[in-house]
Amino acid sequence: MRRSFYAAIPLLIMVSSLCGAQELPPVNYDESKVPAYELPDPLVALDGTRITTPALWFHKRRPEILELFTREMYGRAPGKPERMKFELLEQSDHALGGRALRRQVRIVFDTRHPEVAMEVLLYLPSHTPRPVPVFVGLNFRGNHTIHPDPAIRITKSWVRNDRRLGITNNQATPQTRGIAASRWPVEYILSRGYGLVTAYYGDIDPDFHDGFRNGVHGLYPNAGDKHGPEDWGSIAAWAWGLSRIVDYLETVPEIDRNRIAVIGHSRLGKTALWAGANDQRFSIVISNNSGCGGAALSRRRYGETVARINRSFPHWFCDNFKKYNENESALPFDQHMLIALIAPRPVYVASAVEDRWADPRGEFLSCLHAEPVYRLLGAGGLALNAMPPLNTPAFSRIGYHIRTGRHDVTLFDWAQYLTFADRYFKDENR
């Protein structure tokens, strides 16, 4: 089996950022070397007010935390565009041998600049009562890579070069059709009664640092030289794009707008969490191996750290976040508070035991320390006090599992996410 490009991220980070990496200490994978730290309390406001009621959470502390993450980490994104347009590109009521409805749609973010657009691929199960619940997630290499279906349009957007796959000049090729199918078990998802909606993240913002001039950044006045320390980075841009997908889905009568789950892996797991924190139309939020800047606690300095992620990917976060390079204790938040922003909606965090770069323990601890907010809101929380055994999922309001294997999305992961969704999209409504 071909080893995924994204499975080699830690090595590539070190190679691609030699100047920054030489200035950093060795990566820590020793639990005994995790520094002592104290986490900010999500239920204590900046003025010292103790948050004791849901009203105080929603009207005081939650907006305060959201503003801190916006200003100091992800950056300030614009709202819904005024000149957005949806264009149907292709539709079949008998896709995948009659098992699915397929629809391909272009979302033009601003009709004055139609060249900046995102293509959305949608599959709905043919024999499931309408409206159906859906999973929404961005993909890494183009919609055509998630399934060998020959009708899926090949992306014309920038893609990362890969000689092993014949990708040069940053252009996708037909040879890459279906190469990511293992991460997107379309038929299985459909068989469980769910639709799948995906778009290529590079349509929204190409994943390299050009000074915030390309992609959706270029549509707004703070692109390029005007980009300020609080302005949005790429993760905020990708999360913004996920919300634009929901704008479209709200126009599709076959989809249940009250049962939309957002899912993401790795950097797109960070994106899914930030999208879920900002947009409460996502009823379930799922983070797969999201690590630093996602579900993992920054203060642990285990695996990837704030300094390493900022120096390797300077475009992912706002410039203010760089103040915390090797200075995590000064952060006015940590990632458990990102998960708390999703409360009381269900959230699921998944780790892989070989993915030490993403700090599985730090991901679990974020779930654990977000629990007081969930309990304050009467939503239960995490049904665990310690990390569970491998491949043993916990389906509480804060779901969690750590599985065998490496940095990837597997059929095991999807089976848990679908069961988790059954619990909150189906069982609670019976």
Within 10 Å of residue 75's Cβ, how many Cβ atoms? 28
363 and 290 in contact (C-beta within 8 Å)? Answer: yes
Greatest extent of the chain over all pairs of C-alpha atoms, in Å: 60
Output the six-digit token pair for 359: 């700090």
Rounded distance between C-alpha atoms, residue 136 and residue 261, angstroms: 6
pLDDT computed for residue 6 by the predictor:
36
Choice among 234, 266, 366, 396 that is catalytic = 266
Total structural domains within the chain: 1
Output the six-digit token pair for 173: 């090729």
407 among known catalytic residues = yes
Burial of 169: CB neighbours in 10 Å, binned 0-12, 13-18, 19+: exposed
234 among known catalytic residues = no
Rounded distance between C-alpha atoms, residue 136 and residue 275, angstroms: 11
Rounded distance between C-alpha atoms, residue 223 and residue 246, angstroms: 25
pLDDT in tens, the chain (430 residues): 333 333 344 444 444 444 444 577 789 999 999 999 999 999 999 999 999 999 999 999 999 999 999 999 999 999 999 999 999 999 999 999 999 999 999 999 999 999 999 999 999 999 999 999 999 999 999 999 999 999 999 999 999 999 888 899 999 999 999 999 999 999 999 999 999 999 999 999 999 999 999 999 999 988 888 999 999 999 999 999 999 999 999 999 999 999 999 999 999 999 999 999 999 999 999 999 999 999 999 999 999 999 999 999 999 999 999 999 999 999 999 999 999 999 999 999 999 999 999 999 999 999 999 999 999 999 998 999 999 999 999 999 999 999 999 999 999 999 999 999 999 998 754 3
Q: Which domain, by its residues, includes 11? A: 5-429
195 and 135 in contact (C-beta within 8 Å)? Answer: yes
CATH number at residue 289: 3.40.50.1820
Question: What does the chain come to in residues?
Answer: 430
Q: Which of 326, 207, 325 is nearest to 271 (CA)?
A: 207
Q: Which of 178, 153, 155 is nearest to 165 (CA)?
A: 178
Amino acid at 146: I
Q: What are the C-alpha distances in Å from 177 to residues 141, 174, 264, 409?
A: 10, 6, 20, 18
Q: In what order do the strands lie in the sheet with 85-94?
A: 85-94, 100-108, 117-125, 195-200, 132-139, 255-265, 284-288, 347-352, 398-403
Q: Which of 274, 254, 262, 149 is nearest to 199 (CA)?
A: 262
Choice among 265, 336, 401, 407 that is catalytic = 407
pLDDT computed for residue 428 by the predictor:
59
pLDDT computed for residue 81 by the predictor:
96
